[in-house]
């Protein structure tokens, strides 16, 4: 994978982590629904995608 591909993949994973966090963590808190399992799994998934992007980015 060259540097440009790494940058694009890392950016995609960063954006994916933000989307997962928005849909599974922030939206339920905003609407007042608090499904603990969904929020916990969404939080873990968001962190995992962010960590994967960070690993690919090399930071």
pLDDT in tens, 3-58: 899 999 999 999 999 999 898 888 887 888 878 888 899 999 999 999 999 999 98
- 19-28 pLDDT per residue, tens: 998 988 888 8
pTM for this one? 0.82
Q: How is residue 32 annotated by DSSP?
A: T
Cα(10)–Cα(45) distance, rounded to whole angstroms? 15
Please answer whether residues 17 and 47 qualify as being in contact, where contact means their C-beta atoms are separated by less than 8 angstroms.
Answer: yes
């Amino acid at each position: 994978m060259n540097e440009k591909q790494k940058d694009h993949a890392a950016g995609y994973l960063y954006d994916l982590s933000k989307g997962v966090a928005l849909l599974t963590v922030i939206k339920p808190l905003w609407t007042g629904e608090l499904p603990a399992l969904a929020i916990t799994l969404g939080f873990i998934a968001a962190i995992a995608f962010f960590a994967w992007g960070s690993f690919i980015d090399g930071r």
